[in-house]
Structure 1
Amino acid sequence: MSLDPATPTRERCVTSYPARRTYSPGAVFPPEVPSVRNAIDIHCHAHNGQQDALALAKLASINGMSGILYKTIGSITGPDNPTVPLQAVRAELARYCDENDLQPIDCWAGWGVTRDNRPPTLDRLKTNIVDGIAGVWLPVANHANTYFKVGGKPIWWDKTADPKAHTEPMPWDEALKLGFYMLDEHGKLKPEFKEVLHVVADKNVALFFGHATHDEIFEIADMVVKLGIKRAVIDHPFSPFIDLSIAQMKQLADAGIFMNFTYDEISPLLGVDPAIIYRAIREVGSEHCTLSSDAGEPLFPNSVECMRLIRGYMEAFGMTGPELETLCVKNPAFIAGSASLM
């Protein structure tokens, strides 16, 4: 387990006040969102009940962003084809931007291999890749690790349950019965997840580790190296699900895996000290890191504003212009497959 990244308030004041008093990027004129030009958000939620994908794409285009990778878009309980709502967003965005003399952002869709509580199958994965998804997420909300750390919604495994109910964190044995876990009894990747990695390597799409445990992370990392996967990403490494130490982040970065730090981590809901994220990027190296929003839930600002915030925090603590270009543009473009900005 890593050290608690939620610095006590009294100590945080000492580091935050010099940063906030010296950071001065210029006046802000709402609803303009400054300091996000060319940025790409590689972890954005826009499924049912969250922020609207088209409205967000318009806002991102107005403010000069370059792209958004929607981890979720449309209905996550409906048809298994996220590129269908994505194409609708792209078409309407192109019309809107043409009418308003704007450059539309690039939009991509991701796909979770266990998004509807079904085990991953190669047919479903390959179909979605052919349809144009840019990223593949290993188990996330329905991972046993999620249930163990924060619980889950019973409606996910019991269709008669109260849709608003949420459990407490579960004992590990119970979490394993209800959630996905990617290793077998010998500590090796189960065949269905090993096949996912082979397809990802063959088709050259981005791989996101999901809410994997440390044992899973390092087993997947070994496969990433063996298969030559170059676009592998660990989301929110300071979150309670991932909880990596900086030493572990450096070890994984040395294997070619990107650390994707998110607004979710620094939000009031998780409370990670942004100064600690800054120090982690300093030690791991900006060439191995990205910044994204992981936003969409109504308790968060929209993803464009979240990109401004996390980028602004990192700049306030000392990230340089070229480093921010690497974190917000170059590395995310490489991961999303945007050749024009790499």
Structure 2
Amino acid sequence: MTLTTDARSTTLAEFSELPRETFAERSMELPDELIRGTSDLHIHSGPWLKSCPGRLDPFRIAEQAKAAGMKSLVFYDHTLGVSTGTAQLTKYQVPGIEVFGGIILTSVLGGMNPRAVKTALHYGAGARFVHFGAHCTHHMVIHEGSFVDGKLVRFVDQYPKFAKDELPRAIRIPLEGPVSDDLGEILELIAERPEVHLNTGHVSVDEAFRLVDLAVEFGIRKIVVAHPCRARMTVAQQKALVEKGALLEGAVSDWMFHRGLRRTNYYVEPELADEIAGIASTPELSGGVVPWAKQIREIGLEHFVLGTDYGIRSGPTPLEGQRTLISTLLDLEFTPEEIHLLVKTNAERLLDIE
């Protein structure tokens, strides 16, 4: 799902009335003006594990975004996995802003479970995305860990019981050969609903390529490569996925996040509090926001959808994250038109709210 050159030109022309600034005369107010009508496609809204509380409840997240003039929010729940109920209740409580949810496949929900997907599509606000796992994918299970005597040691090496219990439950995409009946049914469920997009989740790079190929094979119209997975890819790999029709997710947390903060992202046991945040291995983005933005320019703005990935207690609010994103893009000399393409138009097309 991409924009053609002509469509992109038309889109940019639509924003000819946007406020402007020069390098020498920059505006304190411009980020607040540009935030109106935008969408945050990745918010951790809660509920939360008691050991890993959030920054705000979902109602206050939506109230702040609505007051700032934002158009839509997409809620994530990577613990129990289903955010459609939270989205529905938030829409009732805070009318006047679009709120969407979806399902993240988790071992809590039984892993690769088509029944969970089918239910989520009809539960609450109805799932608008199916995400192939966060902290319980096989890739994450074999990489998360903590420091022991100054050295990072994986949980699968520290705790044999963890490896025995969690590796069989972990979500894994076959790199070749036939797919399981469960995976096939999930892909069919997504393909039947053009408003639902597939998110690759926190899988390995090789798994992401296979999943995108399968999505195309099954006729899925909207495909998003999750930001932790994309961050481990070279530009050439990202371009290859774009050529297959995938969109690439970027997040503020890619370059503004608490690396090494010990948190119970998914597992409730204190000893399983991850210290590498699962996405710390990002060689292509180790320089922070500058290479992140450079990749967006090189690959093409029309191929990216952006979110904050905020919501944790120790981070800024999602609204603050959205303002930081817009302000940073302005500082990097993205034009108002380009910024709206990234945080407004592309999001509207993904969510069918143009």
- TM value normalised by structure 1: 0.75
Identify which of 328, 331, 344 aligns with 1:329: 344
Q: For the residues of structure 1 that align with 2:184 and 2:251, how far apart are their CA atoms?
A: 27
Uncovered stretches (5+) of structure 2, i.e. residues with no partner: 1-21, 147-151, 260-285
Structure 1 match to 2:131: 137
What's 2:57 paired with?
52
1:86 aligns with 2:87: yes
Which residue is equivalent to 1:262?
Answer: 251
Q: Report % sequence identity.
A: 20
Secondary structure class of the residue paired with 2:127: coil
Is the partner of 1:114 in helix, strand or coil? Answer: coil
Q: CA deviation at 1:41?
A: 0.9
1:116 aligns with 2:116: no
- Note closer, same or farther for the CA distance 1:275–1:306 as it changes in structure 2 (3 Å cut): same
Deviations 1:105-154 (A, max 9, x none): 100111112262512332221221123111111111111211223239xx
CA contact (8 A) 1:70 1:107 kept: yes
Instruction: Give, in whole Å, the separation in 1 of the partners of 2:24 and 2:121.
Output: 42
Q: Could you tell me which of 225, 234, 253 is aligned with 1:245?
A: 234
Whether contact under 8 Å (2:74, 2:99) holds in the other structure is yes
RMSD of aligned Cα (Å)? 2.9
Structure 1, residues 149-175: CA drift from partner, whole Å, max 9, x if none?
3239xxxxxxxxxxxxxx943459949
The match for 1:127 among 116, 119, 142 is: 119
1:54-104 deviation line (CA, Å, top 9, x unaligned): 00100000001000010129xx44xx763333222111112xxxxxxxxx2
Residue 74 (structure 2) pairs with residue 69 (structure 1): yes
Tell me if structure 2 keeps the 8 A contact 1:134–1:337: no
Which of 194, 198, 208 matches 1:207? 198
Q: Distance in 2 between matches of 1:113 and 1:171?
A: 21
Contact between 2:248 and 2:305, CA under 8 Å: does it hold in 1? Answer: yes
Mapping for residues 312-323 of structure 1, pairs under 5 Å: 312-323=327-338
Q: Which residue of 2 aligns with 1:157?
A: none
Report the CA distance between 1:211 and its aligned residue: 0.5
SS at match of 2:201: coil
Contact 2:72 2:97 in 1 (8 A): yes
Q: Distance in 2 between matches of 1:113 and 1:60?
A: 27
Equivalent residue, structure 1, for 2:154 = 169
- Rate the CA distance shift 1:224–1:81 in 2: closer, same or farther, 3 A: closer
- Code of the residue aligned with 2:186 in structure 1: it is V
Question: How many residues matched?
Answer: 288
Query: Are the structure 2 counterparts of residues 117 and 315 from structure 1 closer, same or farther at C-alpha, using a change threshold of 3 Å?
Result: same
CA distance in 1, matches of 2:202, 2:229: 12
Partner residue in 2 for 1:27 = 28
The equivalences for 1:270-309 within 5 A come to 270=259, 272-309=287-324
Whether contact under 8 Å (1:188, 1:219) holds in the other structure is no
Equivalent in 220, 226, 229 of residue 229 of structure 1:
220
- Per-residue CA deviations over 1:219-253 (Å, capped at 9, x if unaligned) read 111112222322211122577xx501111111111
Q: Could you report, residue by residue, the CA deviation over 1:24-49 in whole angstroms, capped at 9, with x for unpaired residues?
A: 652359xx955311111111101122
Preserved CA contact (<8 Å) 1:265 1:272: no
- Partners of 1:234 and 1:257 within 8 A in 2: yes
Q: Which amino acid aligns with 1:269?
A: H
Task: Select 2:181's aligned residue among 187, 191, 199.
Answer: 191
User: Are 1:291 and 1:307, in contact at CA under 8 Å, matched by a contact in 2?
Assistant: no
What is the CA distance between 1:282 and its match in structure 2? 0.9
Contact map agreement 1:224 1:232 (CA 8 A) in 2: yes
Q: State the secondary structure of the residue aligned to 1:212.
A: coil
- TM-score, normalised by the number of residues in structure 2: 0.73
Alignment-derived partner of residue 150 in structure 1: 144
Contact in 1 for aligned 2:204/2:229 (Cα 8 Å): no
Task: For structure 1, list consecutive stretches of 5 or more residues without a partner in the other structure.
Answer: 1-20, 95-103, 153-166
The aligned amino acid for 1:169 is R
1:255 Cα deviation from its structure 2 partner: 1.1
Q: Distance in 1 between matches of 2:109 and 2:287?
A: 30
- The equivalent of 1:156 in structure 2 is none
Question: 1:100 aligns to what?
Answer: none
Q: Bigger CA drift: 284-293 or 315-324?
A: 315-324
**Cα distance in 2 between the residues matched to 1:238 and 1:263:** 15
Distance in 2 of aligned mates of 1:125 and 1:317: 40
CA distance in 2, matches of 1:188, 1:35: 47
State how far apart, in whole Å, the 1-side matches of 2:288 and 2:143 are: 20
